[in-house]
């Protein structure tokens, strides 16, 4: 059986984490991923603390396995959520979109395993010093809010800079991608886009169809001038946003257009005015499957490709 240090750290069967996707990663998806042997993660995103509490309780009802909560640090509710996870006895936290330094002491005092997302070597080193247990090293192939570097360039540089385990994210959609990041120094992966189309993922059908139909070049990065670049699928909204960037319109105009846009896509299936966050690997994803099918398939591919890679090296 394949086991990595991430499996021991998180008490899971396979070193596969589900990304904490805002408005998407709820109890249904998180419990399904955990029940399939990966690590399901509830996204706190911008949600009010009571909504997050309810999601945590529902997840506990649906699985007795390990699961985590993602704290999105740009949220105005981040402080409250940071304390809620302690109250609710959450064992694993991932963070995104910022530096979680100010919460590390609190979380470590509660015995929580803390895994920040880092987009750079500098933040990776700082998080290790603060006591992070592992890192999610996310390249800009990912959907949603992204950093500057690709997975291919970032993962080996962080691997050389820290000694805690690394989970690679951004651009990984199958066993080949998983094997590739292991060659770069990762010992686990996090996937978002592949789980967007999971049967247990309760987003609008039109969102899933859009991901399933996406081609390799169908994502764009919007919002660079705001300091919060976001990768989404091309649609009328993305075209409007990019036009506004070209015309150097003020940040307030972006905010106005972007407000509620993710919710419109996820909940209402509004493919014109909604923000359809997805990673560059969307073009590879062609079918809806259960979380169990996704995870088992990736682990099978991973094992085969690790063996084939050696044969290729030998010229066979
Ligand atoms: O957080 C994500 N992906 C997200 S969050 C999100 S909600 C949102 N929507 C619109 C604008 C902004 C947020 C949608 N997708 N991924 C993890 C991630 N974290 N990517 C990049 C970072 C990151 C960036 C800067 C982590 C730390 C960081 O630190 C800056 C600092 O303060 O040192």
What tens digit of pLDDT does each residue of 88-138 get?
999 999 999 999 999 999 999 999 999 999 999 999 999 999 999 999 999
Residues with CB under 6 A from ligand 1: 22, 72, 74, 96-99, 117, 119, 123, 138, 144-147, 228, 230
Residue 224: pLDDT band (50, 70, 90) is very high
Q: What structural domains does the chain harbor? A: 5-202+287-313 (3.20.20.70), 205-281 (no CATH)
Segment 224-247 mean pLDDT = 95
**Ligand 1: which residue has its CA nearest to atom 33?**
99
Residue 95 pairs with which residues in a beta bridge?
A: 71, 116
Residue 257: pLDDT band (50, 70, 90) is confident
Q: Is the pTM of this model over 0.95?
A: yes
| 72: Cβ contacts below 8 Å, ≥ 6 apart | 20, 22, 43, 44, 45, 46, 78, 95, 96, 97
**Ligand 1: which residue has its CA nearest to atom 21?**
146
Q: What is the 3-state secondary structure (H, E, C) of 260-301?
A: CHHHHHHHHCCCCCCCCECCHHHHHCCCCECHHHHHHHHHHH
| 83: Cβ contacts below 8 Å, ≥ 6 apart | 106
Testing ligand 1's pocket by substitution, the residue of 145, 148, 149, 222 carrying the most ligand atoms inside 8 A of its CB is 145
Residue 204: pLDDT band (50, 70, 90) is very high
Give the tens place of pLDDT for each residue, 45-95: 999 999 999 999 999 999 999 999 999 999 999 999 999 999 999 999 999
* E runs forming strands in 88-147: 92-96, 113-118, 135-138, 144-145
Predicted pLDDT at 2: 65
Segment 135-151 mean pLDDT = 98
Q: Is the pLDDT of residue 182 over 80?
A: yes
Q: What's the angle, vertex CA 170, arms to CA 49 and CA 95, rounded to 5?
A: 25
Predicted pLDDT at 128: 98
b/e code 138-148 from CB counts within 10 Å (16+ = b): bbbbbbbbbbe
Predicted pLDDT at 4: 87
C-alpha 255/C-alpha 278 separation (Å) is 20
Predicted pLDDT at 1: 53
């Amino acid at each position: 059986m394949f086991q990595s240090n991430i499996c021991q750290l998180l008490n899971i069967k396979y070193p596969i984490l589900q990304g904490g996707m805002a408005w998407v990663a709820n109890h249904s998806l998180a419990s399904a991923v955990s029940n399939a042997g990966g690590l399901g993660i509830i996204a706190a995103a911008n949600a009010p603390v009571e909504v997050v509490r309810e999601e945590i309780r529902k997840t506990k009802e649906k699985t007795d396995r390990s699961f985590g909560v993602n704290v999105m640090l740009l949220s105005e509710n981040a402080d409250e959520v940071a304390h809620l996870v302690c109250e609710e006895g959450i064992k694993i936290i991932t963070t995104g979109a910022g530096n979680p330094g100010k919460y590390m002491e609190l979380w470590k005092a509660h015995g929580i395993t803390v895994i920040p997302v880092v987009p750079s070597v500098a933040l990776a080193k700082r998080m290790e010093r603060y006591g992070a247990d592992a890192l999610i090293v996310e390249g800009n192939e990912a959907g949603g809010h992204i950093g500057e570097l690709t997975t291919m360039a970032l993962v080996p540089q962080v691997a050389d800079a820290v000694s805690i385990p690394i989970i690679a994210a951004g651009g990984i959609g199958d066993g080949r991608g998983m094997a590739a990041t292991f060659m770069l120094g990762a010992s686990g992966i996090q996937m978002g886009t592949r789980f967007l189309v999971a049967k247990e993922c309760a987003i609008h059908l039109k969102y899933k169809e859009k991901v399933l139909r996406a081609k390799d070049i169908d994502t764009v990065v919007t919002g660079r001038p705001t300091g919060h670049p976001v990768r989404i699928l091309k649609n009328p909204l993305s075209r409007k946003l990019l036009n506004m960037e070209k015309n150097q319109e003020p940040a307030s105009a972006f905010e106005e257009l972007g407000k509620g846009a993710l919710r419109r896509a996820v909940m209402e299936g509004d493919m014109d005015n909604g923000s359809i966050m997805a990673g560059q690997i969307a073009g590879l994803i062609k079918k809806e499957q259960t979380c169990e099918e996704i995870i088992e398939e990736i682990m099978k591919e991973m094992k085969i490709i690790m063996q084939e890679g050696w044969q290729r090296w030998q010229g066979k």
